């Protein structure tokens, strides 16, 4: 069995999220805490607002889809989540906020982390005057053969 450090345990991570919410100026409301528990209680993962809303309904957390969207965007704005846009109409939220890239499996609508050693991004363009590169997001789209 894999050994977990205190920071990796769901209860420790949820306590950390509560503290980060307060530091970021977000009140840890009952709905935010319930959604945070669903989001961060299962380790690093990628979820859409619809997926999280469905989990909330199953867990009997009384939230609307609009509240889920708003909460995900608020968590993203304060650095608790990372937004992964796979196309203009589909957005996922990643609980792993470190710099990394993704595979998107078409047909399954699933996002998977690309191991860091499997991708190198070189020769970035020089940004226009007064601008800086904040982050580079690579999404490699996959399709099952056959």
Structure tokens at 76: 């993203």
Residues 70, 76: Cα–Cα separation, whole Å? 10
In this predicted structure, the answer to whether residue 5 has a pLDDT above a threshold of 50 is: no
Instruction: Spell out where the chain has E strands.
Output: 46-47, 82-87, 90-94, 101-105, 110-114, 139-142
Tell me the pLDDT band of 146, cut-offs 50, 70 and 90: confident
Largest CA distance in the chain: 52
Give, as one character, the DSSP assignment of residue 42: T
Structure tokens at 48: 């859409």
Whether the model clears a pTM of 0.85, i.e. scores above it, the answer is no
Mean pLDDT value of segment 28-41: 89
Instruction: Judge whether 71 and 32 are in contact, CB under 8 Å.
Output: yes
Instruction: Judge whether 138 and 102 are in contact, CB under 8 Å.
Output: yes
pLDDT in tens, 83-99: 999 877 789 999 998 88
Tell me the pLDDT band of 10, cut-offs 50, 70 and 90: low
All structural domains of the chain: 6-142 (1.10.10.10)
Torsion on CA atoms 18, 72, 114, 136, rounded to nearest 10: -100
Question: Can you give the pLDDT at residue 80?
Answer: 87
CA distances from 110 to 10, 76, 80 (A): 23, 20, 21
CA–chain centroid gap for 62, Å, is 21
pLDDT in tens, 40-86: 888 889 999 999 999 999 999 999 999 999 999 999 998 889 999 98
Mean pLDDT value of segment 26-31: 88
């Amino acid at each position: 069995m894999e050994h977990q450090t205190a920071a990796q345990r769901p209860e420790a991570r949820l306590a950390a999220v509560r503290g980060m919410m307060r530091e970021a100026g977000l009140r840890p409301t009952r709905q935010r805490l319930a959604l945070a528990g669903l989001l961060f209680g299962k380790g690093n993962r990628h979820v859409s607002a619809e997926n999280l809303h469905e989990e909330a309904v199953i867990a009997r957390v009384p939230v609307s889809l609009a509240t889920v969207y708003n909460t995900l965007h608020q968590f993203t704005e304060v650095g608790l989540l990372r937004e992964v846009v796979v196309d203009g109409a589909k957005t996922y939220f990643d609980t792993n906020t470190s710099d990394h890239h993704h595979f998107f499996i078409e047909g399954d609508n699933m996002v998977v982390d690309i191991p860091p050693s499997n991708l190198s991004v070189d020769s970035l363009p020089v940004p226009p005057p007064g601008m800086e590169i904040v982050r580079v997001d690579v999404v490699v789209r996959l399709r099952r053969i056959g």
